Chains A and B, each alone.
Chain A
């Protein structure tokens, strides 16, 4: 048995001789001894964090640094969570409702970052740096979480709204509203705490900053801002121009342009007349404003964004700056303006109830006056004599000197009846009628009646009466039958009698040419010139306008009004050539303040108003 035992002993002895592997591969690696800076992104930004007590709160801590391996969250030194991640994002949530409102809690966040040396320990996350930061948490009601609005101020030509940065967690968006109807923007950058409202132009500033969080909660703050509209001023210029100006807007960069409206409050009418591009504009000149209309201008700024439709006059009044009413024309003594005479020469004459005025058309001003105690007056067509009335007498005035040259007492007239209306020719003769409706050809210089006659059995104060320059012809327009049926009749002084030589129904304007005495009248769109001596038509001129008002014999121009009553035209009397157009509105209509229109030496006259034209 001994060899067998030797053999086994040998086997066991050899079994103890195991191979011992050897060799060492040593690598020279440079250790990293200084902690590198790291960048982290949080879903909370401040050191003091406000957390809504409602719902489940998620804290998120992320970094683009790929070497950050894990994060540790502690609340009041109690570990809430330890999260390992290779993505760089560490998220943990907790039910914030279990914490007491208003008390400070200390949240410590620790991040472990590998050293990056490349050593074995670094690769195994056993070597690195620990970063720690402490935050203070406050748990609040949702409503108290909203970002407070700090300021709303005009800046850089716009309106800047600034609010506090949201101090809670789980920020998702700021929603910025102007009123509940208009969302200006949604901002997902928590650090961007302002914006410019490019829609604000002076009104409707009702701002809400609504903070949305990951919890699905929305909390808002609100502030109202009202700058007001710009103050607008309208200033009359020469001719038909009106300068409209307004201050430079504080929100010029929000404005793409201005819509300009004219409006006549009297007629509850408005119309867009111009558009000016650019928010920096501060004025506009109207070249063709409307004569005889109280016009108010509205300046409506057009915002870059959120243009509100203009649906009514009320909208316009609310959204646009308005000027005061401006009246194109210069004021004149007003009543009764129909007794307005413009003989040859540079002067016109008219009365109010107290005075007879002499108006210098060249210098566009009243140069003289004489007292009067009646409304009626007349001037010879050569402009040398004025015939006006006072109680129980007529006065003949030297128009050049504005001095009374003669007085005709009431007793001088037939039956001692004072004239009611009267006209005078260049030679001092004329026609008047008295209270009895008796008409007389009368020599005012010799104070003697030359003929008496009746006008179709009736007479009306205010009918037009014209005298030929030589005193031979008298033309009158009066109502025939029922208004508005008019009859125009031409009488001739012949052999001590007044003879009816011509009549026309429903003529409009009529007058005698001041030099040659031709009769000119307007009917059915035709301006007819005829000789009173033989009743032959000399010329006919078609007139396109509906209403014919006056002839300026100095310039041989006539003035007319279109059917719509919104355009006054001045034409050459002989050729019909259009020389000037003047816009107006509802002129001489029943609702208008103006009923008459005269033209003399390029000046338009109407009741209480004149306008010197340039053409």
Chain B
């Protein structure tokens, strides 16, 4: 994977010697479906010896993005992008005799390719951008019951498509923009680290528990344009 990224970056840089390069960083808020993981928590609640409660349930969280684009024509720019998402959940119970805590911490890196079309070129620019990426997710499950604790890590990967609109304002070589879109994630099995044959699944249906990051994405970006 690392090798593939290196080759892509090399091609982009090599191409930069002939065109305009845009480097972009973003920060936004995303909502996450993660319906399988939420159902998993419900099942866990039923099996607990005490009546626990979900105190944190994969809430909306900031995400981070970076990208590098090459303006191929006046209308089209192609680029490489990457986003980082993280969220989590907690099942909690505590009384005088001790505490029970089951935490799920979910992170994801999504490198991908993006195509950006300029729809309006005035003081404000309007773009439509579509990003296709592969999400590499990591789920850390930790369980603490009184003095007992256990931790497991699962990894999954899945294909994502994120169409969005982008409105920008240029100041010299800097471009400030706001973005709105929706991310579609087909999700992937959560395989146990150290034993790839084992994966998370529902107890009754034996269906795999997938990590589905789908949801609305709102973000702000700042870009720097290099005239080569």
Contact = CB atoms under 8 A, between A and B. Distances in A.
Contact of B97 (A4, A22, A23, A120): A120
Interface in A113-164: 117-124, 126-127
Nearest to B16: A3
Contacts of B50: 27, 118-120, 123
Nearest to B224: A3
A20 B107 CA distance: 11
B84 A14 contact: yes
A15 B107 contact: yes
B95 A21 contact: no
A24 interface: yes
A439 to B, nearest CB: 132
B92 A124 contact: no
Contact of B107 (A19, A25, A123): A19
A124 B145 contact: yes
Given A15-B107, A19-B107, A22-B55, A120 B93 contact: yes
Binding site of A, secondary structure by majority: helix, strand, loop or mixed? Answer: loop
Given A11-B82, A120-B95, A21 B64 contact: no
Contact of A4 (B13, B55, B146): B13
A180 interface: no
Contact of A119 (B56, B88, B96): B96
B104 interface: yes
B160 interface: no
Contacts of A118: 50
Interface string B26-59: 0000000000000000000000011111011000
Contacts of B146: 120-121, 124, 126
B156 interface: no
Contacts of B87: 19
B66 interface: yes
Contacts of A123: 49-50
A119 B66 contact: no
B97 A21 contact: no
B210 interface: no
Contacts of B23: 3
Interface string B93-124: 11111111001111101000000000000000
A27 B66 contact: no
A7 interface: yes
B75 interface: no
A254 to B, nearest CB: 61
A14 B95 CA distance: 36
Contact of A18 (B51, B64, B99, B107): B107
A10 interface: yes
Contacts of A17: 64, 84, 86
B90 interface: yes
A19 B85 CA distance: 9
A34 interface: no
A14 B68 CA distance: 17
Contacts of B13: 4
Contacts of B94: 24-27, 120
B157 interface: no
Contacts of A10: 25, 66
B61 interface: yes
Given A23-B55, A25-B52, A121 B98 contact: yes
A23 B90 contact: yes
A189 interface: no
Given A21-B90, A27-B93, A120 B55 contact: no
B53 A25 contact: yes
Contacts of B98: 119-121, 126
A124 B86 contact: no
B9 interface: yes
Nearest to A26: B94
A15 B146 CA distance: 30
B221 interface: no
B89 interface: yes
Nearest to B94: A26
B95 A11 contact: no
Given A14-B84, A124-B49, A29 B109 contact: no
Contacts of A15: 84, 107, 109
Given A27-B51, A120-B97, A124-B146, A20 B66 contact: no
> By CB atoms of chain B within 10 A, which of A22, A28, A31 has the most?
A22
Nearest to A125: B49
Contacts of B99: 120
A25 B93 contact: yes
A381 B55 CA distance: 138
Contacts of B86: 17-19
Nearest to B6: A4
Given A14-B64, A18-B107, A120-B49, A24 B92 contact: yes
Interface string A561-582: 0000000000000000000000
Nearest to B51: A27
B56 A11 contact: no
B188 to A, nearest CB: 19
A453 B225 CA distance: 193
Given A4-B9, A120-B49, A21 B56 contact: yes
Given A19-B105, A21-B56, A120-B50, A127 B66 contact: no
Contacts of B51: 27
Contacts of B25: 10
A28 B95 contact: yes
Given A26-B94, A127-B97, A11 B84 contact: yes
A32 B166 CA distance: 63
Contacts of A28: 95
A124 B94 CA distance: 13
Contacts of A120: 49-50, 93-95, 97-100, 145-146
Interface in B121-157: 145-146
Given A11-B82, A19-B88, A19-B105, A25 B97 contact: no
Contacts of A22: 55-56, 90
B92 A29 contact: no
11 contacts: A11-B66, A11-B82, A11-B84, A19-B106, A20-B105, A23-B90, A25-B94, A27-B51, A124-B49, A126-B97, A126-B98
Given A7-B66, A7-B68, 16 more contacts: A4-B13, A10-B25, A15-B84, A17-B86, A19-B61, A19-B107, A21-B56, A21-B88, A21-B89, A24-B55, A25-B93, A27-B51, A119-B98, A120-B97, A120-B99, A121-B97
Interface of A: 3-4, 7, 10-11, 14-15, 17-29, 31, 117-124, 126-127
The 10 nearest A-B residue pairs measured at CB? A23-B55, A121-B97, A123-B49, A21-B90, A25-B53, A119-B97, A25-B92, A21-B88, A19-B86, A29-B95
